[in-house]
Amino acid sequence: MKVTIDGIEIDVPKGTTILEAARMIGPEVAPPTMCYYSKLKTSGGYCRTCIVKVTQGSTANPNPMPKPVASCRTEVMDGMVVENTINKEVLEARKGVVEFLLMNHPLDCPICDQAGECHLQDLGYEHGAANTRYEFPRREFEKIDIGKYVQLHMTRCIMCFRCVKVAEQLTDNRVHGVMHRGDAAEISTYIENVIENEFSGNVIDVCPVGALTDKTFRFKSRVWFTKPVDASCDCKKCSGKVRLWLKGNDVLRVTARKDQWGEVEEFICNECRFERKNTADWKIEGPSPIHRSSVISQNHYNHLNELKVQVMKQQKALGFMDINKRP
Amino acid sequence: MGRKLLIHNDKVPGINTYEVYRAHGGYASVEKALKTMQPDQVTEEVKKSGLRGRGGAGFPTGMKWSFLAKPEGVPRYLVCNADESEPGTFKDRYLMEKIPHALIEGMITSSFALGAKTSYIYIRGEYFYVARIVEKAIAEAYAAGWLGKNILGTDFSHDCYVQVGGGAYICGEETALLESLEGKRGNPRIKPPFPAVAGLWGCPTVVNNVETIAAVVPIVNMGGEEYAKIGVGKSTGTKLISASGHINKPGVYEIELGITVEDFIYSDEYCGGIRNGKKLKAVVAGGSSVPILPTELILRTAKGEPRLMTYESLSDGGFITGTMLGSGGFIAMDEDTSIVKNLFTFSRFYHHESCGQCSPCREGTGWMEKILQKFLNGTANESDVDLLWDIQSKIEGKTICPLGEAAAWPVAAAIRHFKQEFIDIARSKKFVDISHYDRLNKLVRA
């Protein structure tokens, strides 16, 4: 099936969504996502950041779709023409969505563990406005400990439902979900029940913001002061392929490996994540690939940094686009 | 007098019981359909009748039925949407309360057409007593052999169940209704797939409004072509209108589609004019979510033609100068009504009823309510009007289900047609309530 996204044509198999097709073309045209997660079935469609305009439905029916559609949940048709970054209406709508997502977000990035690897930060930086027009008190919740390792801070939650899908699809016993409705809706466990199962830690990785955080890492360090390396071990429960976040020789944190879209490559078990905090437990494979625009790369790859400064100077002199702007 | 097809017997004593209903020609459509017609013929009659969904969207019913996927070995369902929660709409309640057998008769005939062996009537939680009435009627229908195995000795068997909702507006959205019916949280599903392909428990399902299903009865009885003669153009048949607001005779009226709005408001047969001799200020013609129109635009279209009570005429001029027939919740407001306060009431409702699934609606509805609250407090600025306009434009069309639009349209229309009222409040920094309700409240308090 041929589909054209922002003027670039690509051939994709039947059943591919617009978002997947856009990701195949590359990050220049891929819409941002906050709730979609390719590894979790039925995720997506809620946050509306990935909305795009379909200007031609298909070759058979060339009419445009009347409303912008969620690209993560809309399958491509043969001959479909999609506009993402070249459509002003889409960018304006996305700006609106970012404003809605940030409206009740506390913006406590200075004390949030997620800062530096937060998708909402990236999204706000790329698509949001500098100021908020919301002048009312923001929504607040009490922090809840859900189990030994995970803390839930609902105030920061943007209701992406990813953790609910993890609980549904990865673990055998779903104990948390959504309570209440509208802007009072919250992710919660019934009567503050704890989440106890082998894979519960993955809710931390899928959380795009700092609503679910690792209690063994809370307030230990800013992520950009730690150095990510890929490591592995022989684990009976999971693949054992992880990312260690080191400070000197101390393992401050263990997470799953994430791909270019910020999605977990393989889910890992709680033992790997929370219990194996010695470098001796791991076989270190080498430094993790981190996008050069990420704040995490700041302190580790000095030669790259110098190179970047030079390139930036050159580009600025020539009037090119800022390379720091993440595609 | 216009023809009445749905509630012509509503004043007959005991019409809610089986014997009286049957004595007045009830269940004739089931007899006719099961004994003399094929299922496809029934669908064909409904198509010919031009019946359009009475729940709000006005989608042609016959077409909806023909979209129903019919794979072998998979059950099909008919679900009746009796989750009538739109503010200003109370026609389904009237119908179910007065003539419950009309709905059940429609359910059987429609299920026969669709080949559904099981059907559900999803009644909103607040209508608990109505659910009891309908359940009693179903029991009577079972006892008389209209439901159950081999109805009228044919090989058509059918079971009908009542399910009472938890009282959420969102469960009136068809996919949320199905989720709720399945015992889950009533969140709208992402479409496609549409219910006609994968609905209740993943099986093909048709979801129809109470009035739509009840209208199948006269269509089968009189024939689709005969039914289509009533009305104007693509708006055929009769429609129940829930008239409320500052009119002399509020209530449920059955009208022939095609009478003028002026007639409907001022004739003694229907609303009987505005009460206390006041002037009409504005009308919400189809339930709280459709755009409000000022008097000059509701009585006449922008072209100067008289506006009719039809799907087409009411939506003439799009949302700039038109509105929608919607569910037929006709709310008239007199000259003393504050549009801002009215809008606040609507916005508060949509904020309260948003399911919280997608971000524009979850956050935006609350924001709009808070800004409107500022107007009522007299603390709003002129820029808040533009902000409101911007917020509604960022909700509309960006959400999973139509609740986002339902919340955005009233705001857009109120600002479009009554912007001066907002600006006056913002400039004077005070909100003077002049509505009847508040005067009444003050009197009571005094």
Residues of chain B with CATH 1.20.1440.230: 339-436
Of A45, A67, A101, the CB nearest to B190: A45
What domains are defined for chain A? 2-98 (3.10.20.740), 104-214 (3.30.70.20), 223-287 (no CATH)
Of A47, A133, A178, the CB nearest to B359: A47
Cβ atoms of residues B282 and B333 within 8 Å? yes
Q: Please measure the distance between the N-terminal and C-terminal CA atoms of chain B and give it in whole angstroms.
A: 44
Calculate how close chain B gets to A266, using CA atoms only, in Å.
Answer: 27
Residues of chain B with CATH 3.40.50.11540: 18-229
pLDDT for the residue B105: 94
Nearest CA in chain B to A96: B394
pLDDT for the residue A79: 92
Of B357, B363, B394, the CB nearest to A104: B363
CB contact (8 A) between residue A178 and residue B367: no
Find chain A residues with C-beta within 8 A of B189's C-beta: none
Architecture of domain B232-334: Roll (3.10)
Calculate how close chain A gets to B427, using CA atoms only, in Å.
Answer: 19
User: Per-residue pLDDT averaged across A299-323, rounded?
Assistant: 67
Express each pLDDT in B257-275 by its tens digit: 999 999 999 999 999 999 8
Q: Could you tell me the pLDDT band of residue A326, with boundaries at 50, 70 and 90?
A: low
Calculate how close chain A gets to B229, using CA atoms only, in Å.
Answer: 33
CB contact (8 A) between residue A182 and residue B370: no
Tokens standing for A324? 């720091």
pLDDT for the residue A48: 92
Is B389 an 8 Å CB contact of chain A?
no
Element (H, E) at B437: helix B436-445
CB contact (8 A) between residue B359 and residue A178: no
Calculate how close chain B gets to A35, using CA atoms only, in Å.
Answer: 10
Strand runs (DSSP E) across A180-301, as ranges?
Answer: 186-189, 212-214, 227-232, 241-247, 250-256, 283-287
Instruction: Choose, out of B169, B363, B383, the residue to mutate when testing the contact with A (most A CBs < 10 Å).
Output: B363
Is B145 an 8 Å CB contact of chain A?
no
Find chain A residues with C-beta within 8 A of B398's C-beta: 48, 51, 67-68, 93, 96-97
CATH 3.20.20.140 matches B18-229: no
DSSP string, B121-181: EEE-GGGHHHHHHHHHHHHHHHHTTSSBSSGGGSS--BEEEEEE--S-GGGGSHHHHHHHH
> A110: Cβ–Cβ under 8 A, 6 or more apart, which residues?
none
Residues of chain B with pLDDT under 50: 446
pLDDT for the residue B211: 94
Cβ atoms of residues B95 and B103 within 8 Å? yes
CA–CA gap between residue A22 and residue A74 (Å, rounded): 12
Angle between helical axes of B403-428 and B359-377 (0-180°, round to 10): 20
- In one-letter notation, the amino acid at residue B25 is G
pLDDT for the residue A322: 65
Q: To the nearest 5 percent, what fractions of chain B are helix, strand and coil?
A: 50, 15, 35
Number of Cβ within a 10 Å radius of residue B403: 25
CB contact (8 A) between residue A182 and residue B185: no
Express each pLDDT in A148-168 by its tens digit: 888 999 999 999 999 888 888
Q: What angle do CA A210, A212, A214 make, to 5 degrees?
A: 100
DSSP string, B75-110: --EEEEEE---STT--HHHHHHHH-HHHHHHHHHHH
Is B407 an 8 Å CB contact of chain A?
no
Architecture of domain B339-436: Up-down Bundle (1.20)
Find chain B residues with C-beta within 8 A of A184's C-beta: 356
Cβ atoms of residues A50 and A19 within 8 Å? yes
CB contact (8 A) between residue B367 and residue A159: no
Nearest in space to B102 (alpha carbons), one of B112, B92, B88: B92
- In one-letter notation, the amino acid at residue B226 is E
Is B364 an 8 Å CB contact of chain A?
yes
Express each pLDDT in A69-93 by its tens digit: 999 999 999 999 999 989 999 999 9
- Round the average pLDDT of chain A to a whole number and report it: 87
Express each pLDDT in A168-182 by its tens digit: 888 777 778 888 888
User: Per-residue pLDDT averaged across A43-67, rounded?
Assistant: 91
Q: How many CA atoms lie within 13 A of A319 on its CB side?
A: 0
Count of CB contacts below 8 A, A vs B?
A: 89
CA–CA gap between residue A289 and residue A259 (Å, rounded): 9
